[in-house]
Structure 1
Amino acid sequence: MAKHTFWVFLILVWGGSLQANLPDFNPEDLTTAPPRIIRTCCAFGADLSMLGIPGIKVNDITGLEQIGPHTYLGSKAEGNGIIYTRKGGFIDLGHLRDQADWTAWLYASILAHHQQGRWTQKLGVEGGKKTLILDIPAGTDSTDMLLLAGRIAFDLSAWHEIATWYGASTVPFVSERYSSFSIEDMYSNTLGIVLGMRALKSDLPYEEAMTAGITHILDSLEAVPTWDDTFAAMQAVEGVWWTSSKHLPSGKILLKRALNIQLCQHPYLLPQQAASTEPCTISLEENSRTGIPLTRFYELRIRLNHKFNQRSQILPDGKAYITQYDFTAFVEDIRIQLEQEEV
Structure 2
Amino acid sequence: MLGHRLLIGLTLLLMLPNFAKALEAPAGVRPCCAFGTDLKAQVGGVPVPFFSLENLVDAGEFGSHIYNDGSQGVAGSLLGIADELNGLIYTRRGGFIDIAHVRDTADYTYYLYHELWPYIGSEHTLTLPAELRQRRVVMRADDVVHDNDSKRQQGIKLAGMLAFQLAQWHEIAQWFGLKSVSGWSELASAFSPEDLYSNMLGARLAIQVLEQTPTASVKEFSSAFEVALDEALQKLGEVEKAETQRRIRALDGDWWDSDKRLPEKWVLRKRDYHLGLDLMPHAAEAPTPLKLEISQYGELQLLPGGSESSFKTLPASLRKMPVWRGSDFQSLADFARGQDLNIRRDADIRLGQ
Matched letter for residue 24 of structure 1: N
Contact persistence 1:166–1:307 (CA under 8 A): yes
2:64 is matched with 69
Q: Which runs of 5+ in 1 are unaligned?
A: 1-22, 287-293
CA distance in 2 between partners of 1:106 and 1:189 (Å): 15
Matched letter for residue 62 of structure 1: V
Q: CA deviation at 1:27?
A: 4.4
Query: Any idea what SS the aligned residue of 1:54 has?
Result: coil
Bigger RCO (CA 8 Å, 6+ sep): 1
Q: CA deviation at 1:301?
A: 2.7
1:28 is matched with 22
1:17 is matched with none
CA distance in 2 between partners of 1:341 and 1:102 (Å): 34
2:104 is matched with 98
Query: Any idea what SS the aligned residue of 1:28 has?
Result: coil
Contact persistence 2:311–2:319 (CA under 8 A): no
CA distance in 2 between partners of 1:256 and 1:217 (Å): 26
2:137 is matched with 132
Q: CA deviation at 1:179?
A: 0.4
Question: Which of 302, 313, 328 is matched with 2:330 structurally?
Answer: 328
The root-mean-square deviation of aligned C-alpha atoms, in Å, is 2.0
Distance change >3 Å, CA 67–CA 263, structure 1 → 2 = same
Question: Which of 35, 43, 53 is matched with 1:58 structurally?
Answer: 53
- Mapping for residues 1-343 of structure 1, pairs under 5 Å: 24-29=18-23, 33-37=25-29, 39-51=30-42, 52-74=47-69, 76-114=82-120, 117-137=122-142, 138-140=144-146, 141=150, 142-203=152-213, 205-225=220-240, 227-269=241-283, 277-286=285-294, 294-295=295-296, 297-304=298-305, 305=307, 306-315=309-318, 317=320, 319-343=321-345
Query: Any idea what SS the aligned residue of 2:135 has?
Result: strand
1:12 is matched with none
Structure 1-normalised TM-score?
A: 0.82
Deviations 1:30-56 (A, max 9, x none): xx632242x111111011111120221
Matched letter for residue 84 of structure 2: E
Query: Any idea what SS the aligned residue of 2:200 has?
Result: helix
Contact persistence 1:95–1:192 (CA under 8 A): yes
Contact persistence 2:274–2:330 (CA under 8 A): no
Indicate the percent of aligned positions where both proteins have the same amino acid.
Answer: 31
Deviations 1:32-87 (A, max 9, x none): 632242x1111110111111202211121111253112222237212111111111
Matched letter for residue 301 of structure 1: L
Q: Which is higher, the Rg of structure 1 or of structure 2?
A: 2
Query: Any idea what SS the aligned residue of 2:51 has?
Result: strand
Deviations 1:74-124 (A, max 9, x none): 372121111111111110010001101100111111124447x21111111
Contact persistence 1:314–1:330 (CA under 8 A): no
Q: CA deviation at 1:136?
A: 4.5
Matched letter for residue 131 of structure 1: R
Matched letter for residue 281 of structure 2: P
Distance change >3 Å, CA 150–CA 65, structure 1 → 2 = closer
How many residue pairs were aligned?
302
Deviations 1:295-327 (A, max 9, x none): 56324233252222224535164x333222221
1:3 is matched with none
Q: Which deviates more from structure 2 when the two are superposed, residues 228-237 or residues 177-186?
A: 228-237
Q: Which runs of 5+ in 2 are unaligned?
A: 1-16, 74-81, 346-353
CA distance in 2 between partners of 1:334 and 1:196 (Å): 30
Q: Which deviates more from structure 2 when the two are superposed, residues 192-201 or residues 71-80?
A: 71-80
CA distance in 2 between partners of 1:195 and 1:299 (Å): 21
Q: CA deviation at 1:183?
A: 0.9
Structure 2-normalised TM-score?
A: 0.80
Distance change >3 Å, CA 295–CA 238, structure 1 → 2 = farther
Deviation beyond 6 Å, 4+ runs, structure 1:
none
CA distance in 2 between partners of 1:79 and 1:267 (Å): 22
CA distance in 2 between partners of 1:139 and 1:316 (Å): 39
Q: CA deviation at 1:342?
A: 2.2
